[in-house]
Amino acid sequence: MSVSDHIKISFPARAENEGFARTAAAAFISKADPRVDELADIRTAVSEAVTNAVVHAYRETDGLISMTIKLTEYREVIIHIRDKGCGIEDIEKAMTPLYTTAENEERSGLGFSVMESFMDKVSVKSEAGKGTCVCMRKKLSAGTDAEG
């Protein structure tokens, strides 16, 4: 894999930064001239992953979220969203559609389902007490120029 460009940003795990994170991701990926729906899918997936870190990983505590985005020469977008929060004890359970530990806050339990549906591949590494890393990949369709 050859990386043609990448960014790394970190920001405090606050709800108001969810919008910043997805906007920053979209601005970076826009340079690859993605389709409108591809860009919207990525924005949504980033929003879900960052929201998970804000709501679940750092509940009641301050912390940092880091986001790296790589854009490969094969037009693959690879996004890592990391936190050093509480970690996920049972990843399989956490990724089950409609499962949530924050029911009284009206969380739908669909965060991972949206990520998996809107991206090509999603993988999660987590250790209780240490933090979580969500990796998401999506191959962009051929650029506008190539489509003629």
Partner 1 sequence: MFGLSFEDGKLMVHLCEEIDHHSVSSMRSRIDLEIKQNVPSEVILDFGDVSFMDSSGIGLIMGRCRIMNEIGGVVKIKDASEQIRKIFRLSGIDRITKEY
Q: What is the DSSP string of 5-33?
A: EEEEEEEE--TTHHHHHHHHHHHHHHTT-
Rounded distance between C-alpha atoms, residue 30 and residue 59, angstroms: 32
Could you tell me which stretch among 5-13, 45-53, 87-95, 121-129 binds partner 1 (CB under 8 A)?
Answer: 45-53
Using rule CB under 8 A, residue 117 touches partner 1: yes
Pairing of strands 76-83, 3-12: unpaired
Judged by CB under 8 A, does residue 15 bind partner 1? yes
Catalytic residue check, 48: yes
- Interface with partner 1 by CB under 8 A: which range of 12-20, 80-88, 121-129, 131-139? 12-20
Interface with partner 1, residue 35, by CB under 8 A: no
Regarding 82 and contact with partner 1 (CB under 8 A), the answer is no
Position 31, amino acid: K
From 52, 75, 76, 82, the catalytic residue: 52
Tally of CB atoms within 10 A around 141: 13
In angstroms, what CA-CA distances link 99 with 71, 75, 90, 95, 103?
A: 32, 33, 12, 7, 9
User: In the complex with partner 1, which residue's Cβ is closer, 4 or 141?
Assistant: 141
Question: Where in the sequence numbering do the catalytic residues fall?
Answer: 48, 52, 107
Name the site residues for partner 1 (rule: CB under 8 A). 15-16, 18-19, 22, 37, 40-41, 43-44, 47-48, 51, 54-55, 105-108, 110-111, 113-114, 117-118
